[in-house]
Amino acid sequence: MTVASVLGRCTASLLCTTILLACVNTTARAEASRASIDARVERLLSQMTVAEKIGQLAQVNADEGKMSDKLRAAVKAGMVGSVLNAVDVATVNELQRIAVQESRLGIPLLMGRDVIHGFKTVLPIPLGQAAAWNPELVEQGARMAALEAAASGVNWTFAPMIDVSRDPRWGRIAESFGEDPYLTSVLGVASIHGFQGDDLSRPDAIAACAKHFVGYGASEGGRDYGFVGIPEVELRNVYMPPFKAAVDAGVATFMTAFSDVNGVPASGNRFLMRTVLRDQWKFPGFVVSDWESILDMVVHGFAANSKEAAFEALSAGVDMEMASTTYRDHLAELLAEKRIDQATLDAAVRNVLRAKFRLGLFERTVTDPAAFPPVASAQNMALAKKLTTQSLVLLQNRNDVLPLTRASLHSLAVIGPMADDDYEQLGTWIYDGDPALSRTPLRAIREMVGPRVTIRHVRAMETTRSRTTTAFADAVAAASSSDAAVLFLGEESILSGEAHSRANIDLPGNQMDLVRAVKSAGKPVIVVILAGRPLTIEPILAAADAVVYAWHPGVMAGPAIADVLFGVESPSGKLPVTFPRVVGQLPLYYAHRNTGKPPLPGAFTHIDDIKVRTSQTGLKNKSWYLDAGYEPLYPFGYGLSYTSFAYSDIRVEPARARVGVPVTVRAVVKNVGKVEADEVTQLYVQDLVGSVTRPVRELKGFRRVHLRPGESREVSFQLSADDLAFYGRNMTRATEPGAFHAWVGGNSTAELRTDFELTAN
Ligand code: BGC
């Protein structure tokens, strides 16, 4: 709460006076601490040589996580500001000791690591976490990861990745919170709070890093590192909001993208870093490049050589260079030639030093793991299980085949390459994870049903990519002699993540044939998919009675999935990304613009049904694919439950208001089924006319509610002017007067609607 907001809300009451005083005190303390940090930065800066300044801007990779003589010497000489990938606590402590005790000025090191979805306790991949639509749990997960990482001496994570990701071919969609700017903003902020805690100087806080600024998720064709062509209005309205939210949440650092953004690589992009990030958003932290992304500007053809790359990057506002050494090799020369001035160099060094002071690194450089809670504790595993459970999305449940009933089950076939693979269930970026901690679905199902139920396990395929079918007969036999078959399919970890894009996002290998073969046994077929992205799974819907999407669920995959399969928990995850029918529909996302000729429901003719010599306009001139229609397989926000929810009584107050007056949308959600369950209620808004065209719908709020059978609850969402603001034709952000639709429901196709109008005065 700011002083201004208190003043704005309070009348003269004793409580307000007390709050106000507390606010003034907190603000005064924050200002004092800022002033004292600034003074310490200036004192230190005034003692530094040019070489030492350049040293602070260097981030060096620890070889194999250990310490080479070269690294030891560089740290001692004050030539290193940060080390990445050292996580052995003895090595980290020794590096810090050298920096603090043996370097001339004793400046401690930032110890960076990709702590992406847990550290030792591996949580679901971020895309899976997003499917839980639960910011509190995401924050708790990041807090847990921060504690585990800090116990190894890590004080900086390269997370969260808040690239809006609308193309599942892109392997890094796994690391994202999905396609929506609002959901990504909320979950990004939750992660930042989790990593950094309330006070960055506490030993259990680690600095977060908002990455990759900006537009990386829109890599052309879903190919990693690809060109990004995004009009400024789209950059500002879709790709930048999560980053702006991160700045407002106090994120300590930013990372640039590998991308060439509209012709200027992000690591040399003055518009992005100077105009937007510093001048307009007032970001006080520091910016790190991505891995060698400064040097990559030579390959992009944007800089003639590494010296020019260093010039472009520092001039654009990259404070620290990751992995490559263009700053170390050329900044002194650029300075001597007066192409870079002292003030530009000093500003970058200040940004880095300020972060070190904010983190309290000068006050503590020794990490004592014993001072931290144990890693992978029962408590951490329980949190992982909870997050995983809420991330599971039930996509299909024909004839209520799920949940399985323990009491009447005698035997179950558990089939597939992902059923009992402790490594593959963890997903991408698990440097510090330990597969030995993994609880697999097979093991958890066995524990769940006990010895009374016969479990017939057939892996059937060595990997998800296998082409051999020799073990399929065993799978069919297992299914035939069991009450039902559960298949664990999907993609292995290596098929998603950085540089792991796919042009075809079907189930790889012969998995589809495996489903069909098992189906021939005539028993109920349940498919659980573990994957790093949405896959084009339409072909399995005919063969499978039930489909559960589990993403890469992390260490507690098994217990979470078993709870859902056997109805201990009702599934409550919702898709954070649209599922296409075929890859050719991509990119496909719910918040698209309308065309002038949108699809006409009911008038679509599929390619197979087109009559010979149909006239040019006989199929209607509408925006659709003749061979794939215009709808996704599953819309954003979708997910089934073991119960049903009914939405009613939508209303908005006031229905007509001046721009600036908050508007509240309310609706009632009722559990009309037979089991208690969570529902993620969602609010979507359409701004009907804008100075630039607006999306057909935009998510503006969501709430997870728990309802017993028959119970109903009113959910309400307040929309401020800021919530409805966007960058319009003149590239300024404003809330434009006019008419709005608002829908409340369980996914992005919700039909329960109300309307309101904002007037200019
Ligand atoms: C990735 C970053 C990551 C960095 C350090 C790069 O290749 O793009 O997201 O933080 O490596 O490991």
Cβ-contact 725, 733 below 8 angstroms: yes
* Confidence (pLDDT) at 63: 75
Residue-wise pLDDT tens digits, 147-167 = 999 999 999 999 999 999 999
Q: Strand pairing of 209-213 and 253-256? A: parallel
Please report which confidence band the pLDDT of residue 14 belongs to, taking 50, 70 and 90 as the band edges: very low
Q: Whose CA is nearest to atom 2 of ligand 1?
A: 290
Give the tens place of pLDDT for each residue, 211-220: 999 999 999 9
- pTM of the complete model: 0.96
pLDDT of residue 6: 36
At a CB cut-off of 8 Å and minimum separation 6, what does 700 contact? 182, 683, 684, 685, 717, 719, 723, 724, 742
211 lines ligand 1 (CB under 6 A): yes
Specify the pLDDT at position 33.
82
Q: Is 498 in the pocket of ligand 1 (CB under 6 A)?
A: yes
CB 157 within 8 A of CB 143: no
Which atom of ligand 1 lies at the shortest distance from residue 158's CA? 10
Q: Which residue has its alpha carbon closest to ligand 1 atom 11? A: 291
Calculate what percentage of the chain has a pLDDT beyond 90.
94
- Mutation pick for ligand 1 pocket among 111, 430, 498 (CB with most ligand atoms within 8 Å): 498
Ligand 1 center from residue 708 Cα (angstroms): 44
Distance 754 CA to ligand 1 centre (A): 44
Distance 110 CA to ligand 1 centre (A): 16
Nearest CA to ligand 1 atom 12: 114
pLDDT interval class at 29 (50, 70, 90): low
d(CA 457, CA 582): 32
- Give dist(CA 439, CA 637) in Å, integer: 28
CB of 245 within 8 A of CB of 262? no
pLDDT (0 to 100) of residue 26: 58
DSSP letters, 342-393, are: HHHHHHHHHHHHHHHHHTTTTT-----GGGSPPTT-HHHHHHHHHHHHHH-E
pLDDT at 135 over 50: yes
Strands 411-415 and 58-61: unpaired
Element at 484 (helix H, strand E): strand 484-490
Instruction: Say if ligand 1 is within 6 A of residue 457 CB.
Output: no
* Element containing residue 35 per DSSP (H, E): helix 14-47
* Catalytically annotated residue among 167, 180, 260, 290: 290
Band (34; pLDDT cuts 50, 70, 90): confident
pLDDT of residue 663: 98
Q: Indicate if ligand 1 lies below 6 Å from the C-beta of 717.
A: no
Residue predicted with more confidence, 364 or 614: 614
What DSSP character marks residue 102?
I
pLDDT over 80 at 285, yes or no: yes
| Region 221-228 average pLDDT | 98
Counting residues of the chain whose pLDDT is more than 70, the rounded percentage is 96
What tens digit of pLDDT does each residue of 522-533 get? 999 999 999 999
117 contacts 126 by C-beta, under 8 angstroms: yes
pLDDT at residue number 761? 85
Residue 159 CA to ligand 1 center (angstroms) comes to 10
- Residue from 290, 293, 294 whose mutation best tests the ligand 1 pocket (most atoms within 8 A of CB): 290
Q: What are phi and psi of 222, to 5 degrees?
A: 75, 10
Please write the tens of the pLDDT for every residue from 461-493: 999 999 999 999 999 999 999 999 999 999 999
Q: Which of 193, 129, 114 is nearest to 556 (CA)?
A: 129
Asked whether the bond before 108 is cis by omega within 30 degrees of 0, the reply is no
290 pocket-lining for ligand 1 (C-beta < 6 Å): yes
| Ligand 1 neighbourhood includes 158 CB (under 6 angstroms) | yes
Atom of ligand 1 nearest to the CA of 211: 9
Cβ atoms within 10 Å, residue 436: 9
Segment 710-732 mean pLDDT: 97
Ligand 1 within 6 A of 156 CB? Answer: no
Residue among 310, 360, 337 nearest 54 (CA): 310
CA 316, 321, 324, 326: dihedral to nearest 10 degrees? 50
Q: What is the pLDDT of residue 476?
A: 98
Beta bridge partners of 213: 256
312 lines ligand 1 (CB under 6 A): no
Pairing of strands 264-265, 260-261: antiparallel
Q: How confident is the model at residue 25 (pLDDT cuts 50, 70, 90)?
A: low
Structure tokens at 197: 């805690």
- 549 pLDDT more than 90: yes
> Could you give the CA distance from residue 508 to residue 505 in angstroms, rounded to a whole number?
8
Residue 17 has pLDDT above 70, yes or no: no
Any atom of ligand 1 within 6 Å of the Cβ of 172: no
Question: Structure tokens of 170?
Answer: 């892109």
Does residue 724 surpass a pLDDT of 80?
A: yes
Confidence of residue 35 (pLDDT cuts 50, 70, 90): confident
Assess whether the C-beta atom of 213 lies below 6 angstroms from ligand 1: no
Q: For the residues 342-365, what does the mean pLDDT come to?
A: 96
Whether the bond between 403 and the residue before it is cis, its omega within 30 degrees of 0, is yes
Tokens representing residue 103 in the block? 């370097």
Q: Which of 85, 114, 288 to mutate to test the pocket of ligand 1 (most atoms within 8 A of CB)?
A: 114
Q: How is residue 155 written in tokens?
A: 């004080």
- Quick one: pLDDT at residue 27? 66
Average pLDDT over every residue of 295-305: 98
290 is catalytic: yes
Cis peptide before 606 (omega within 30 of 0): no
Is a pLDDT exceeding 90 seen at residue 10? no
Nearest to 492 by CA among 125, 123, 224: 125
Query: Which of ligand 1's atoms lies nearest the C-alpha of 85?
Result: 12
- Candidate from 291, 292, 500 with most ligand 1 atoms within 8 A of CB, to mutate: 291
Task: Indicate the average pLDDT of the chain.
Answer: 95
30/43 Cα distance (integer angstroms):
20
Quick check: CB of 114 below 6 Å from ligand 1?
yes
- Taking the C-alpha atoms of residue 720 and residue 700, their distance in angstroms, rounded to an integer, is 10
Ligand 1, atom 6: closest residue by C-alpha: 291
Atom of ligand 1 nearest to the CA of 209: 10
The sign one gets for the Cα dihedral 383, 386, 390, 391 is positive
By the 8 A CB rule, do 125 and 161 touch? no
Between 2-6, 386-390, 729-733, the lowest mean confidence (pLDDT) is in: 2-6
Residue 175 CB–ligand 1 contact under 6 Å? no
